[in-house]
């Protein structure tokens, strides 16, 4: 992160603590139509044009330690094999034989020397190339070089693997906008996978995701935890292209340190923002991460149905942090905060389905939510969305480039 950018973040937090209202010229945000959280037709558009066409975090390279190591990934509905090849490269393929669509792997994870279709015996290597066809004599004209497994876009940032089912999507790093420049000193290549956990929540995925895009709720939901050390009135927000955004919240006391992390290995030379403040990034659409010098959690939000979702939490930290005695306490503390965030979500789901819910009336502090929805409309295409469910694009002049 450039020194000028870091300085601007500290200046932004100071302005937030002193301001008496939104900055001059900031628009009054219209309500976000409630049907965007409940309407079946809108949610189908969201599935098709957002989840099937976005770069989505899948796993860390540590989870595929050897050639032939694989994981099955189903977050967008389709079964996708993520596998490390003999050349060490990680690739992704639909778990679909090119003959008649039978699955090639049945386990959720493991190791394999190749792909074998048990239905008719077609065989593929780890690179997805078709290697053998039973009774090939009965397939005159078959060009095996054109019948490899259907590949899914799979690219890496550091040791993190992202997938995108849109073959025409821009490259991952390009689509991340200014985020890589912010993280250039976090030594991401030396971060190892520490732990992962999953939680099922009975609500639409956006209901819970919204809570992680603002700090307006801290005093109500986290009075004995997060609100004790973070000053939500000082939260400074940046909106970026592609729907990404970040916020950084100052500690109430400059000398405060997370007692659950004191003494853990730290990234050397990391910016003060990551060492002693609380930044949080949204990699659009569904990855929230508050990186710190002692560890990076990835919190990802996945739809299961119109009324249910899964939140996955993945932790990463520097080489040498694995097995540190503070990890059980740190993970337990984080789980407690997550429980506070999720406690009302099922009842909020019930409430948004009533006739009393007309839409979301947002404050200046909640503008990251509006920005998220503006990007959703851009990806779906305004012409596909019923007029009553559209979000009016207003935040263009407030989008930063870095």
**What pLDDT does residue 261 have?**
84
**Separation between Cα atoms, residue 6 and residue 71, nearest integer Å:** 38
Domains annotated for the chain, with CATH where assigned, are 3-53+177-398 (3.90.380.10), 63-152 (2.102.10.10)
Tell me the three state secondary structure of residue 225: coil
Structure tokens at 73: 């990934």
Q: pLDDT for 176-222, tens place per residue?
A: 999 999 999 999 999 999 999 999 999 999 999 999 999 999 999 99
Closest CA to 313 of 162, 192, 196, 200: 196
Residue 57 has which token pair?
Answer: 């975090």
Question: Does residue 255 have a pLDDT over 90?
Answer: no
Question: So what's the pLDDT on residue 338?
Answer: 94
CA 177 to chain centre: 15
User: What is the pTM (predicted TM-score) of this model?
Assistant: 0.95
Q: What is the pLDDT of residue 259?
A: 80
What is the phi-psi region of residue 319: left when phi exceeds 0, alpha when psi lies from -120 to 50, beta otherwise?
A: beta
Q: Is 285 helix (H, G, I), strand (E, B) or coil?
A: coil
CA 388 from chain center: how many Å? Answer: 28
Cβ atoms within 10 A of the Cβ of 183, count? 21
| Cα pseudo-dihedral 235, 241, 244, 246, rounded to 10 | -20
Count of residues in the chain = 402
At 322, is the secondary structure helix, strand, or coil?
Answer: coil
375 contacts 389 by C-beta, under 8 angstroms: no
pLDDT band at 401, cuts 50/70/90? confident
How distant, in Å, are the alpha carbons of 35, 207, 284, 290 from that of 217? Answer: 23, 13, 21, 17
Cis peptide leading into residue 285 (ω within 30°): yes
pLDDT per residue as tens digits for the range 290-332: 999 999 999 999 999 999 999 999 999 999 999 999 999 999 9
Range list of H helices, 277-366 = 327-342, 345-352
**Looking at residues 71-87, what average pLDDT do you find?**
97
Q: How confident is the model at residue 113 (pLDDT cuts 50, 70, 90)?
A: very high
Taking all residues of the chain, what is their mean pLDDT, rounded to a whole number?
A: 95
What is the percent of the chain where pLDDT is above 70? 100
């Amino acid at each position: 992160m450039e020194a000028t950018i870091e300085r601007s973040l500290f200046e932004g937090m100071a302005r937030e603590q002193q301001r008496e209202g939104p900055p001059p010229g900031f628009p009054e945000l219209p309500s976000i139509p409630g049907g965007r959280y409940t309407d079946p037709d809108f949610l189908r558009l969201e599935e098709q044009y957002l989840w099937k066409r976005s770069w989505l975090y899948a796993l860390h390279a540590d989870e595929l330690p050897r050639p032939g190591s694989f994981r099955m990934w189903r977050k967008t509905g389709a079964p996708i094999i993520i596998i490390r090849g003999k050349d060490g490269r990680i690739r992704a393929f639909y778990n679909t034989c090119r003959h008649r669509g039978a699955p090639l792997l049945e386990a959720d994870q493991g190791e394999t020397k190749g792909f074998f279709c048990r239905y008719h015996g077609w065989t593929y290597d780890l690179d997805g190339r078709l290697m053998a066809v039973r009774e090939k004599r009965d397939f005159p004209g078959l060009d095996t070089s054109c019948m490899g497994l259907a590949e899914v876009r799979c690219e890496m940032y550091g040791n993190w693997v992202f997938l995108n089912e849109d073959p025409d999507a821009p490259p991952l790093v390009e689509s991340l906008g200014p985020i890589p420049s912010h993280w250039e000193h976090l030594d991401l290549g030396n971060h190892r996978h520490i732990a992962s956990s999953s939680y099922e929540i009975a609500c639409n995925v956006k209901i819970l995701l919204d809570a992680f895009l603002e700090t307006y709720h801290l005093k109500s939901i986290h009075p004995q935890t997060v609100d004790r050390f973070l000053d939500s009135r000082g939260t400074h927000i940046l909106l970026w292209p592609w729907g990404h955004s970040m916020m950084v919240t100052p500690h109430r006391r400059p000398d405060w340190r997370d007692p659950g992390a004191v003494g853990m290995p730290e990234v050397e030379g990391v910016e003060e923002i990551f060492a002693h403040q609380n930044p949080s990034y949204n990699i659009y659409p569904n990855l929230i991460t508050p990186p710190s010098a002692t560890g990076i959690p990835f919190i990802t939000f996945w739809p299961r149905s119109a009324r249910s979702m899964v939140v996955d939490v993945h932790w990463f930290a520097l080489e040498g942090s694995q097995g540190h005695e503070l990890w059980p306490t740190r993970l337990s503390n984080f789980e407690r905060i997550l429980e506070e965030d999720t406690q009302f979500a099922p009842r909020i789901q019930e409430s948004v389905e009533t006739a009393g819910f007309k839409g979301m009336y947002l404050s200046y502090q909640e503008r990251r939510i509006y920005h998220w929805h503006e990007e959703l409309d851009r990806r779906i295409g305004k012409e596909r969305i019923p007029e009553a469910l559209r979000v009016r694009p207003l935040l263009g002049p407030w989008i930063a480039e870095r």
